[in-house]
Structure 1
Amino acid sequence: MDLKLFVPESDPMQVYQAQDRRIELKFLLTPEVSHQVRSWAREQMDPDPHCTTAIGDSYAINTLYLDTPALDIYRKTRLGGTTKYRLRRYAAEPVLWLETKSKRNNIVQKSRTSIPAAQLPLLQQSEATDDLWPGDWFRQSIQKRGLHPSALVHYQRFARIVRYQNQHIRLTIDNQLAGQKCSRWEIPDQPTDRSDLYQGGEIMELKFHDILPPLFKRLLLEIPLISTGFSKYRTAVASNL
């Protein structure tokens, strides 16, 4: 990781600023390096309250990605744009998160709303049944773009948090990544026809606002890490084409 990208040479005591937007940095981890990072994170950070010791201080994530029939988002065409549309379910919880996410130069913009899982069929209706339904903005967006289920991605996420400058910063490690094609409006808690997305490897993300926290700067200096632009969705689609 080249820290010069985040620490300007003109002022090495300062760190990169991004106009109060969320920044995500991704890294590829071998199992050996993952073990090293996890040990470091357990010493330096607090456990994410959603994690469970039953699966190694982690929680399960199941995500349904949407795209056009021509895979315009995957192919990054003009029609597809740069925003991903997805439905996220944590383990087997009866709640779904409707999300849009765009990323440019490591700066992330995300919008998300939760709905009961039983309301999933409402996304397929041409008109909202209730003007106050919180998922209507998402329904309108995906119908305007002609988006439908494209791929399912499953993985476990190790997560640690700590408070820095009145905000929570996060370190996550995603492992056991699996994906499959999917054309159905459903999000099972386990993959049925899985293919490994990154066999033997794991993906770490550092998530923070505005500046690279000193804690993460120490991590990047202490442990050799390989930065990446790895996309779970694009990898899932490519492995099933």
Structure 2
Amino acid sequence: MWNVPTTNSGWTMSSQSSTADFSTELDRFEAKYIIPRRLVEPIKGFIQPYCTMDKHCAAAGGTYFINTLQLDTPSLSLHYAKEREAAHRFKLRVRTYGKPPGQAPVFLEIKRKYFERVIKSRACIAFDQWKPGILEKHRDELNLKSVTEREAFREFVRLNHEINAKPLVYIRYCREAFTSIFDHYARITFDSQLSYQPVSDMYNWGGNGRFISMDSGLVRNRRESSLVLEVKCTEQVPTWMVELVQEFDLVRCGNCKYSTAIWMENCLTGNGEAPFADEFMYD
């Protein structure tokens, strides 16, 4: 039974609880907002009574980098599924943290979306295991820690082969993250320094190329560089999250980092199509 409170932000959430292992599987709802930088400190002040800095963020000194390899079909079917707002769609990606090469593990992820619901599964491997031949290995060779991870790896490999997935772009950005001290799972994240690099090599993490900025005011049709605010939880949306959206008059918008990179590359190369400004900003 869906419980769908709505605000003028377009926010919709579920009351269904989750017992997922958040390190390898996550069933959640999320909303994204593009905000001016001047709102960052006021928003952090607003959430201070309810949140604490994410432990990984604190260990990294306040922010950390996320590096994501996006895979897609040669015809960009995963990108166009997002463009056409397919009710059931997924992303196939490989992610690590910090500035590679490093010690952080590598996560092979499938991020599915069913209407408003986001389900993410992933398998975690050591950084030095991400090399040619990894997807041909049997899951038992990788020392995966649980049945959930072994199934996530199997499904990642299946989808990769089924759609003939190829590496398209690396996405890199800086994240500042906060977690609720009261709720089962609730997170607030600020993403900045968004950049991408077209790639054909799955294993070098963009080390041989130049990253192109995606968070300038020009890209977002705004006068200033802005940030991506994400609000995430797995249960009924906490009251303080609703009040946050209302207090700062936030307007929910679509912001797929992968599709933004594809749009930008199309603009720079003159290939494919890019959205009009209103299509870029809002779902």
Q: Report if the CA contact (8 A) 2:16-2:236 is conserved.
A: no
Contact 1:67 1:85 in 2 (8 A): yes
User: Is the deviation greater in 191-200 or in 81-90?
Assistant: 191-200
Alpha carbons of 1:40 and 1:130: their partners in 2 closer, same or farther (altered >3 Å)? closer
Cα distance in 2, alignment partners of residues 42 and 191 from structure 1? 40
The residue that corresponds to 1:109 in the other structure is 119
- Answering whether residue 151 of structure 2 is matched by residue 144 of structure 1, we say no
Task: Indicate if the aligned counterparts of 2:173 and 2:195 stay in contact, CA closer than 8 A.
Answer: yes
Question: Partners in 1 of 2:155 and 2:13 — Cα distance?
Answer: 33
Q: How far off its partner does 1:202 sit?
A: 0.7
Letter in 1 for 2:190: I
Could you tell me which runs of 5 or more consecutive residues in structure 1 were left unpaired when the two chains were aligned: 9-14
Corresponding residue for residue 89 of structure 2: 82
Find the residue that maps to 1:217 and give its secondary structure: helix
Deviations 1:43-88 (A, max 9, x none): 5311100014876x2111000000112211112299x971100001
Q: Which residue identity does 2:109 align to in structure 1?
A: E
Aligned positions of 1:1-241 closer than 5 A: 6-7=5-6, 16-20=13-17, 21-52=27-58, 57-76=62-81, 82-91=89-98, 92-121=102-131, 125=135, 127-129=136-138, 131=140, 133=142, 134=144, 135-165=153-183, 167-188=184-205, 192-199=209-216, 200-241=225-266
Structure 2 partner of 1:11:
none
Any conservation in 2 of the 1:89–1:187 contact (CA below 8 Å)? no
C-alpha separation in 2, matches of 1:29 and 1:229: 13
TM-score w.r.t. the length of structure 1 is 0.83
2:35, 2:229 within 8 Å by CA — same for their partners in 1?
A: yes
Confirm or deny: 8 A CA contact 2:185 2:235 kept in the other structure.
no
Deviation at 1:194, TM superposition (A): 1.6
Q: Report the 3-state secondary structure (helix = DSSP H, G, I; strand = E; otherwise coil) of the residue aligned with 1:151.
A: strand
Q: Which has the higher strand share?
A: 1
* Secondary structure at 2:236 match in 1: coil
- The TM-score normalised by the length of structure 2 is 0.71
The whole-number CA distance in structure 2 between the counterparts of 1:35 and 1:129 is: 47
The structural deviation recorded for 1:195 is: 1.6
Secondary structure at 2:70 match in 1 = strand
1:180: Cα distance to partner? 1.6
Cα pair distance change 1:132/1:163, threshold 3 Å: farther
Q: Which runs of 5+ in 2 are unaligned?
A: 18-26, 145-152, 217-224, 267-283
Q: Distance in 1 between matches of 2:73 and 2:134?
A: 14
Aligned length: 228
**Partner amino acid for 2:253?**
T
C-alpha distance 35-233 of structure 1, shift in aligned 2 (>3 A): same
